[in-house]
A and B are shown apart, each in its own frame.
Chain A
Amino acid sequence: MTDAITSKTAAELAGDFRDGTLSASEIVDAHLDRIEALNPELNAFLYIDADRARRRAADLDAVRAAGNEAGALAGVPIGLKDLLCTEGIPTTAGSKILKGWRPPYDATVVSRLEAQGAISLGKLNMDEFAMGSSNENSAYGSVKNPWDTSKVPGGSSGGSAAAVAAGMVPLALGSDTGGSIRQPAALCGVVGVKPTYGRVSRYGVIAFASSLDQIGPFGRTVADAAFMLEAIWGYDHFDSTSIEEPPTPVGSVLDDGVQGLRVGVISELANTEGLQPEVAAALQRSAGQLAAAGAIVDEVSVPSIEYGLSAYYLIAPAEASSNLARYDGIRYGLRVEGPDTAATNRLTRAAGFGDEVKRRIMLGTYALSAGYYDAFYGKAQQVRTLIIDDFARAYERFDVLLSPTSPTTAFGLGDKVDDPLAMYLSDVCTIATNLAGAPAMSVPVGKDAHGLPIGMQILAPALGERPMFQAGAALEAAASFNAAEKTGGAL
């Protein structure tokens, strides 16, 4: 019974709650049971908000019993990446420096989900301040990949991807600065969406790199991801970079097919260094399936995409070096007392930040320094413009673009921790999207020889979520990826 509930999609659960087949309490209990059973092994949840979730479920059941409307997501359990501020609930961003901090306010996306009846079961593990591609940079231990617990789940939203893949929640929110939603989605065999920059409010999202960060959904199906995206997106006065123009729903295009849709396969990423042969094969298979479904598929070159990684590793650390300055031991979080204020700042940061965070703060500080600004940060911004221009040219001929999400399937825990550059390369396919401020999503399309999932990335121009979801749904239908093979299998 329990597994029958936790293998349902969010859309099914919302329907079951609405028509009375299941109560919110039954749904929540089933998922909490599963979290209790699996979390000790997977370490996806950093904080399980069981009591509050049960109370919310009871409240929603009462609302329904009284014959009142409880919201589109009523009764659906969700998980929240631990960089989303939740009022009164610990929020760490995966860092020791925020251990024990309880924000006095909710992120906009959190209030929107709750207003529509979603029930948060807790906070999800992540790489510290979203810096990482394996979730091994969490101050609270690595998350394990539910398909093979000796493998990483990807990062930085590893907890979100693993929780959804393992059936702990049907939906979760993650954040994507350079691929932090799409890459773990690919490695964990779930759908992950990075919306257009400015589509989803960043208010209450602990910042990594402000000009690149974007919140997005994880689901086990394209439809579920659309379901959650539609609940969170839209203008927010509290985020100055929020787009005012209202979004057009994407849920309605999922059955539209791809007849006549122009799909460009990014040649630079189809042949990228270190591309696992099975991933390369999956790309060709996916392109073929879309063509078979009526899409017009061709190769396209986006030359500057290859400089994306270098530009990203200047811009993101530069912004991070400034965003993370506030963790100084004065007002909240960790404080290591020194003989004077400057020493307190220094000791707190030395003790509170992990190695990768320190590395990026140093990188970013250097890139912004007088005398180096033009050569590094300035140059990186020029590359960013080039990438935007190259994409614009590609979208003159194509509606969406296609590439692998990650060059490889999930790698082993510990394999890349001592080689930051190798780790950075696992984001080579996803990073350019963030620099362009455009949307992209990862859809599971198959498995490698070890049974590990392969994700395919669909990219679209800014505000192009509709064609992106159209292609995503078509790919999902053609690939007939079976997520259930893992659930109850490896675990």
Chain B
Amino acid sequence: MTIAEATTVIDGWEPVIGLEVHVELKTATKMFCGCRNEFGGAPNTHICPVCLGLPGSLPVLNRQAVEFAMRVGYALNLNIPERSVFHRKNYFYPDMPKDFQTSQYDEPITEDGWIDIEGVRIGIERAHLEEDTGKSTHVGTSGRIHGAEYSLIDYNRAGVPLLEIVSRPDIRSAAQARAYVAELRAVLFAIGVSDVKMEEGSMRVDANISVRPVGRERFGTRAEIKNMNSLRSLERAVDYEIRRQITELESGGTIVQETRHWNEDDGRTHSMRSKEGADDYRYFPEPDLVPVAPSLSWREEVAAQMPELPAQRRARLVERWGISADDADVLVAVAGLADYAESAVDAGADPVEVTKWVTGDLLGRANESGLSPAEWKVTPHYLTETLALVADGTLSRNLAKTVLDKVWESGDAPSVVVDREGMAQVSDSDELGGLVDALLAEHPDDVVRYREGDEKSQKKLLGFFMGQLMKQTRGQGNPGVLNQLLRDKLNGA
């Protein structure tokens, strides 16, 4: 099923979904001060008067954050207006040091773009800059601020630049929602503006969901779903919420405009607080900042330095490497994977082989360990080296797998592993011929049975002999050579 077909219509109801994606920009410093923008670190160590919102402090806009926003603008076909303005969004919350968030309102840094996902165009209303809040840890039974015994606040994250990307309500199913976020993630990673790790919170997705009878123009009442920490939980949550709303409406109930919390464990969304009458954030232009007006030359410079986007890259890999579209999808979808594969190919490995290993064996290990390709101990260079050992007959495919196992654990070079473990493949006909002779001598009955048997039992016996030989050579006997020797000797040569 294609993404275009992946719309969900249940009993004549159609979902309408818009996504708000918050992305932490990986600038060197925070949005309005010189503190390092770094994930982790002991609580309250990357702080200063500005990001703590101390009395008298003033913000100074980070140029790199603006540049990253511009890059996103070019990648998502957004307009970059000549002037954009910061606004204050006023509300009280303890992890927000100034009790207002510096954000953007009616003059965002970018607006009105789109992204194509396998032929489906999802509109993007805007992508605007804002600052992140600190992080609260609520100690007590509920784990939320209500009913907590006390709360601890870490302001390291306060003032980290965020880009909020707001889609138009163009999404019609959970699968499309997932595909949209996956593509967005690939794009943002490719242009180097964010780590886009949903699990670590550097990419956070909220979904606005409503349902309406098919054919009706007007939207239904929507609920906002939060707390989805992976693509999978996004898809599950959206799917659950669509069905919940339809069930509610079909049983004569109504949908309440509210925020709902996705619970991964019970697989449901739960009402957080009613949002009857939108919150009044009393937006007004931030008087401590001047409007952002990127010069023409700056725009041109950023536009000229735009790297290849995932869609272009997929097309290029399919064409140049001769790999399948599905394989290209996987390479580009997993952050850093295509870079990894291209490094290996650049180092001399065969692209088809590289793709096979990377999307199969290596990705499997990566999924278990949670490591990104850049963190793998099997570097692109080591993969290339291993594949070369397969190509020159030093290693069988199975041995290569074993070697990569060891490299994955130790980080030693494949050649070192092969030498240390004595794993090189044995292809010498004399040496292997001796082994074959000895084996056949040990099993005279089986040899007779082979010679008199039909094709089926011959195949079975051949498998038995090969198994014994691989066992004796600890997997290092060259299977091709052994196979040939066996056949020759069994057939009475």
Whether A103 touches B55, Cβ cut-off 8 Å, given contacts A241-B288, A341-B151, is: yes
Whether, in the assembled complex, A342 has its beta carbon less than 8 Å from a beta carbon of chain B, the answer is yes
Q: In the complex the two chains form, is B284's CB within 8 Å of A377's CB?
A: yes
Q: In the assembled complex, how far is the CB of residue B101 from the closest CB belonging to chain A, in whole angstroms?
A: 11
Residues of the B chain whose Cβ atoms lie less than 8 Å from the Cβ of A104: 49, 54
Whether, in the assembled complex, B309 has its beta carbon less than 8 Å from a beta carbon of chain A, the answer is no
Q: In the complex the two chains form, is A240's CB within 8 Å of B289's CB?
A: yes
Q: Which stretch of A7-15, A200-208, A403-411 is in the interface?
A: A200-208
Q: In the complex the two chains form, is B58's CB within 8 Å of A203's CB?
A: yes
Q: In the complex the two chains form, is B52's CB within 8 Å of A238's CB?
A: no
Residues of the A chain whose Cβ atoms lie less than 8 Å from the Cβ of B278: 370
Q: How far is the CA of A370 from the CA of B280 in the complex (A)?
A: 6
Q: In the complex the two chains form, is A328's CB within 8 Å of B92's CB?
A: yes
Residues of the B chain whose Cβ atoms lie less than 8 Å from the Cβ of A203: 56-58
Residues 188-206 of A, flagged 1 when their CB comes within 8 A of B and 0 if not, give: 0000000000000011111
Q: In the assembled complex, how far is the CB of residue A142 from the closest CB belonging to chain B, in whole angstroms?
A: 23
Whether, in the assembled complex, B282 has its beta carbon less than 8 Å from a beta carbon of chain A, the answer is yes
Whether, in the assembled complex, B97 has its beta carbon less than 8 Å from a beta carbon of chain A, the answer is yes
B136 nearest in chain A by CB position: A341
Q: In the complex the two chains form, is B287's CB within 8 Å of A237's CB?
A: no
Whether, in the assembled complex, A340 has its beta carbon less than 8 Å from a beta carbon of chain B, the answer is yes
Whether, in the assembled complex, B107 has its beta carbon less than 8 Å from a beta carbon of chain A, the answer is no
Q: In the complex the two chains form, is A326's CB within 8 Å of B280's CB?
A: no
Whether, in the assembled complex, A116 has its beta carbon less than 8 Å from a beta carbon of chain B, the answer is no
A371 nearest in chain B by CB position: B280
Q: How far is the CA of A26 from the CA of B47 in the complex (A)?
A: 42
Whether A322 touches B59, Cβ cut-off 8 Å, given contacts A210-B287, A340-B146, is: no
Residues of the A chain whose Cβ atoms lie less than 8 Å from the Cβ of B88: 322
Whether A369 touches B56, Cβ cut-off 8 Å, given contacts A211-B287, A319-B287, A322-B88, is: no
Q: How far is the CA of A207 from the CA of B55 in the complex (A)?
A: 7
Q: How far is the CA of A411 from the CA of B57 in the complex (A)?
A: 35
Q: How far is the CA of A316 from the CA of B100 in the complex (A)?
A: 17
Q: In the assembled complex, how far is the CB of residue A311 from the closest CB belonging to chain B, in whole angstroms?
A: 14
Residues of the A chain whose Cβ atoms lie less than 8 Å from the Cβ of B97: 326, 331
Quick one: which of B150-166 are within 8 Å of A by CB? Answer: 151, 153
Q: In the complex the two chains form, is B92's CB within 8 Å of A345's CB?
A: yes
Q: How far is the CA of A93 from the CA of B60 in the complex (A)?
A: 23
A198 nearest in chain B by CB position: B290
Whether, in the assembled complex, B90 has its beta carbon less than 8 Å from a beta carbon of chain A, the answer is yes
Whether, in the assembled complex, A145 has its beta carbon less than 8 Å from a beta carbon of chain B, the answer is no
Q: In the assembled complex, how far is the CB of residue B258 from the closest CB belonging to chain A, in whole angstroms?
A: 19
Q: In the complex the two chains form, is A341's CB within 8 Å of B58's CB?
A: no
Q: How far is the CA of A107 from the CA of B49 in the complex (A)?
A: 11
Residues of the B chain whose Cβ atoms lie less than 8 Å from the Cβ of A137: none
Residues 275-295 of B, flagged 1 when their CB comes within 8 A of A and 0 if not, give: 000101011100111100000
Whether, in the assembled complex, A318 has its beta carbon less than 8 Å from a beta carbon of chain B, the answer is yes
Quick one: which of A237-287 are within 8 Å of B by CB? Answer: 237-241
Residues of the A chain whose Cβ atoms lie less than 8 Å from the Cβ of B56: 83-85, 103, 105, 107, 203-207
Q: How far is the CA of A241 from the CA of B290 in the complex (A)?
A: 7
Q: How far is the CA of A357 from the CA of B385 in the complex (A)?
A: 72
Whether, in the assembled complex, B433 has its beta carbon less than 8 Å from a beta carbon of chain A, the answer is no
Whether, in the assembled complex, B99 has its beta carbon less than 8 Å from a beta carbon of chain A, the answer is yes
Q: In the assembled complex, how far is the CB of residue A215 from the closest CB belonging to chain B, in whole angstroms?
A: 11
Q: In the complex the two chains form, is B94's CB within 8 Å of A318's CB?
A: no
Instruction: Name the contact of A210 in the complex, choosing from B52, B280, B282, B288 (C-beta under 8 A).
Output: B288
Known: A105-B54, A211-B287. 9 other contacts (CB 8 A): A85-B56, A101-B55, A105-B49, A204-B56, A206-B55, A240-B60, A330-B153, A369-B282, A370-B280
Residue contacts A-B, CB under 8 angstroms, 27 given: A83-B56, A103-B54, A103-B55, A203-B56, A204-B57, A207-B55, A210-B288, A240-B58, A240-B60, A240-B61, A241-B288, A241-B290, A319-B287, A321-B90, A321-B282, A325-B98, A326-B53, A326-B98, A331-B97, A341-B151, A345-B92, A368-B90, A368-B282, A369-B280, A370-B278, A373-B282, A373-B284
Smallest CB-CB A-B distances: 8 pairs: A325-B99, A368-B282, A210-B287, A211-B287, A204-B56, A206-B55, A85-B56, A370-B280
